[in-house]
Chains A and B, each alone.
Chain A
Amino acid sequence: MFPIIAQNILNALQLGSVYALIALGYTMVYGILTMINFAHGDIFMVGCYLSLAAALFLLGLPLHLPAGLIFLGALLFSMLLTAILGVAIERLAYRPLRQAPRVSAVITALGVGLFLENFTLAILGPEPRHFPPLIAMTPWQVGGLSLTLLQLLILIVTALILVLLDLLVRRTLMGMAMRAISDNRPIVPLMGVSVDRVISFTFALGSAIAAAGGLLYGLAYPVLDPYMGIRIGWWAFISAVVGGIGNIRGAMLGGFILGAVEILTPMVLPSSTYRDFVAFSLLLLLLVFKPTGLLGRPLFERV
């Protein structure tokens, strides 16, 4: 029994990593704009496709690059381009509506998401694409547990991103500016800080992290389609709310909780088709009993 549970925890950590990475984007944008960027799941999808494009391109070169280099190239390429996409979306779609009623921004975000889905569909067609197996999936047996290099890589890259982001928010001037905006936006320009610049940076950062999640997801679950961002986006959004939206560490925690919900549901309930039911029930219960999420108070809480 123990190895089965341990194995499932490992799998939950792998999936939870991806949810955590995407949840960060929801939570950071909410933290500084108090707006839910409903296009974020689709930004993740675009990041996933961009990773695929870069990986296929690098594999096609007659250089026989090592897999690690291809991974790194795809990671940097998709993070950079997805960051630009995120900044462009904010500039073109959200910024003109910053003074408008909240509901306008929400509807616009949904529209941007539909645009990204259908744009991808129009270019690539509906048939799913397959991610080339870059990283070895042959499992090592460690004490009754099977662990693949890919799982290890996902956990390490995620941990690295989480630690770096935490440092950025707590230690750098840009992180201070982000926290200041979440606390009292009107005062921030009085410090000589351009609020628009910080918001652009936040979108770039959140989108780049979602792209990293896209590459890791593509490697682990190698079937991509233009609508993949919808369900994963919802799960990441629930992760952010469960952890306490606006709270960065909360998003990390929520991601791993939702990963566990998805992996453990079929162990307890007869079929994995119950997973959305379980996840949304969890969300509803939490909203009733602890509306600000597990890690409590909203916004970039002092850490």
Chain B
Amino acid sequence: MLEVDNLWISYDRIAALRGVSFTVQKGEIVTLIGANGAGKTTILRALSGLVPAARGRVTFEGEDLLSLPAHVRVRRGMALVPEGRGIFGNLTVLENLRLAAYTRRRQDLERDLAAVFGIFPRLEERRHQWGNTLSGGEQQMLAVGRALMTKARLLLLDEPSMGLAPVLVQEIFRVLRRLNEAGTTILLVEQNARLALEVAHRAYVLETGQITLSGPCDELRHHPKVREAYLGGA
């Protein structure tokens, strides 16, 4: 579904990604794990078009992505749930969701809203509240809800567990699993490697802008290097 081939990104001539290659197959949950500053967020930002790529090739369902502007990539069926959630504080919950359906047909709006509210009943209760009055967990639900409103077939998630209480993290990940079972492909960036390796099928380990390890999560979980560096040596 998604093929990334030899992707290079630089910020102010300092290379943040140095030739990263990986794939995501339809129906998978793939996770990128790595320390702070390894380049995980940079990959997602490049895939969604928020930062330009210096070199490399990215194809999504056979189409070259790097030549498309960010808002067109969303229309192709790929949505990013950004780090820090990016909720519009001066829009209500409902407006945030409606804006995410910007490119879609109006007739589908009610049905899609009902689907999102079915997954996150909390959002329906708060639909007329301003975005900046939501709690962190509600904001994360709204961020995922917005991505669903775009009808993305591939969801890119950047640190969905960040800053959330464990019970909320569990809820978000339960939803992700359910979405995946319903057919949505997911590329997950997570600082919480234990959680990520639990929910994903395959993983790539990123270190200073390069992929150093990859494989099925069941295998990586037992890999000595992963255990030492990301699972607290347990």
Contacts and interface: CB of A to CB of B under 8 A. Distances in A.
Contact of B99 (A193, A195, A299, A301): A193
B26 interface: no
B137 interface: no
Given A179-B90, A183-B88, A192 B98 contact: no
A184 interface: yes
Contacts of B150: 191-192
B95 interface: yes
Contacts of A189: 49-50, 69-71, 74
A192 B90 contact: no
B88 A173 contact: no
Interface in B65-88: 69-71, 74-75, 79-80, 82, 86, 88
B146 to A, nearest CB: 7
B102 interface: yes
A234 interface: no
B179 to A, nearest CB: 18
B119 interface: no
Interface residues of A, number: 22
B49 A180 contact: no
B86 to A, nearest CB: 4
> Contact residue range for chain B?
20 to 34
A141 B89 CA distance: 50
Interface in A185-222: 186-195
What DSSP secondary structure best describes chain A's contact surface?
helix
A192 to B, nearest CB: 4
Nearest to B103: A192
Interface of B: 48-50, 69-71, 74-75, 79-80, 82, 86, 88-91, 95, 98-100, 102-103, 130, 146, 150
Nearest to B106: A173
A177 B102 contact: yes
Of A177, A189, A195, A299, most buried by chain B (CB within 10 Å of CB) is A189
B198 to A, nearest CB: 27
B146 A191 contact: yes
Contacts of A184: 86, 88-89
A190 B130 contact: no
B80 A180 contact: no
A180 B70 contact: no
A302 B102 contact: no
A188 B96 CA distance: 10
Contacts of B48: 190
Contacts of B74: 189-192
